[in-house]
């Protein structure tokens, strides 16, 4: 529960600094930066925190034909399915609370755009990124970054862990 409070706090206070842009430029090209900039500021910060955490966990990420830099790029773009929808920090917090209380039953109200994006942003992100020519492994990470049932993919496990703590 504490990490959820921490996430809420980060979402409220986040602002971009030159160090954030420098980090992004290390991993994203101009087209990717333009796409990334369509995320809300709190989501961009979340993705940066996920990527920086992944760097700490990914000492030997040269597996599944994915380089470390390419993996960090996937971490930065993992929530790209949230572009085009305004889910505020308060909205997200309420969705998390209602999801927990209802044990996921609010998912059936996916005709409400914010609920749809909350649950389906991995698939939306996959569909956004697929035309860009990313590898199958890269797209697999985007599509499955909330799938806690997959245990045999080191890269995905790192992404899920870092996403959960940030």
Q: How far apart are CA 122 and CA 116, in angstroms?
A: 11
The confidence score (pLDDT) of residue 16 equals 67
Sketch the domain layout of the chain as residue ranges.
18-83+122-165
Q: Residues near 35 by Cβ (< 8 Å), separated by ≥ 6?
A: 77, 80, 83, 128
% residues pLDDT > 90 (the chain): 57
Mean pLDDT of the chain: 87
Of the pLDDT bands very low, low, confident and very high (cuts 50, 70, 90), residue 41 is confident
Contact 44, 16 (CB under 8 A): yes
Tens digit of pLDDT for each residue in 73-102?
999 999 999 997 878 778 877 888 888 899
For tokens 């909205």, what's the residue? 91
Residue 113 contacts residue 85 (beta carbons within 8 Å): yes
Q: What is the pLDDT of residues 107-123, one digit of tens each?
A: 999 899 999 998 999 99
Phi, psi (degrees; rounded to nearest 5) at 92 = -60, -45
Enter the pTM of the model: 0.86
User: Do the Cβ atoms of 64 and 40 come closer than 8 Å?
Assistant: no
């Amino acid at each position: 529960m504490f990490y959820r409070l921490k996430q809420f706090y980060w979402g409220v206070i986040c602002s971009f600094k030159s160090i954030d842009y420098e980090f992004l430029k290390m991993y994203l090209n101009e087209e990717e930066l333009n796409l990334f900039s369509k995320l809300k500021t709190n989501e961009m910060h979340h993705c940066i925190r996920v990527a920086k955490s992944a760097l700490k966990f990914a000492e030997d990420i040269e597996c599944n034909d994915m380089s470390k830099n390419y993996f960090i790029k996937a971490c930065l773009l993992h929530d790209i399915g949230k572009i085009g929808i305004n889910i505020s920090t308060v909205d997200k917090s309420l969705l998390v609370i209602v999801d927990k209380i209802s044990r996921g039953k609010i998912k059936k109200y996916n005709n409400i755009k914010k609920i749809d994006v909350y649950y389906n942003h991995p698939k939306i992100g996959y569909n956004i990124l697929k035309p860009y020519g990313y590898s199958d492994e890269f797209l697999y990470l985007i599509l499955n970054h909330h799938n806690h049932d997959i245990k045999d993919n080191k890269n995905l496990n790192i992404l899920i862990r870092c996403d959960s703590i940030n």
